[in-house]
Structure 1
Amino acid sequence: MDYYYIIVAGISVGILILTLTYIGIGMATFNRKVTAFPPVQNKCPDYWRLRSDVSGTFCIIPAKGSSNLGNLNPANLSSVNTPGFQPDNTINFSDDGWYLRGVNSICTQRNWANQYNIVWDGVTNYNDC
């Protein structure tokens, strides 16, 4: 091997080592903020319709056999097991009942959605509970 190629290879390896060391130190000392993911939640579970009127914003429970109903049976729902439930098969997810015993509303909604196997982007995949 030619002496020139040995010098070029040695300098290249040295620069590579220095660059990787710099990147490694930068990653180790980078001050990361721990943030909840996802940062935004949908107002209603996936494929549920939203209805807004003067009394508030409500999510309309889909008809039986529709997408993303999970094992939810509207006949068994009440304002006791589902805060914000209305007799017209709507749920107000802004109801104060979702704030339980120091747990924030998104965690309560996450537990509720997981209990009924309902997919809710921004809630069922929330990682800060």
Structure 2
Amino acid sequence: METPQGKTYTNQGKVIVKAIAIPASTVTIQNNGENVGSGTSKQDGTFNISIKLKNGLNTLTATALMKEGSTDPSSPVTIILDQKPKLAIDVINGGSEKGQVATVRGLAKDDYLDKVIINGKEAEVDS
């Protein structure tokens, strides 16, 4: 698959799968082994198929159907749909005047938390 790239994180509920298959074949996209979309590849083999993602881990594969039968599934591509991050700010101390330093404490919780950015700078996060 050309897109999406493997090990991708997104907050968008849909993705367009783009790749090349056998020309003029029926292409089926599977998500975690379940058929979620299909279409026909063009004469040059390219296809674009829009699919809905499930929250959390999505493992996508594609197969092409032709007169002789189906191809083996493509190499899997993993996409993580993350639409439910939680951020709560509890305490803010100082910083009421321009140029002062403020202390911010709160809770950042998410199964796929990578980092928290505040005012363009990465914040220190305790586990």
Using the size of structure 2 for normalisation, the TM-score is 0.25
Greater RCO (Cα-Cα under 8 Å, separation 6 or more): 1
Bigger share in strand: 2
Bigger share in helix: 1
Using the size of structure 1 for normalisation, the TM-score is 0.24
- Please say which structure displays the higher CA radius of gyration: 1
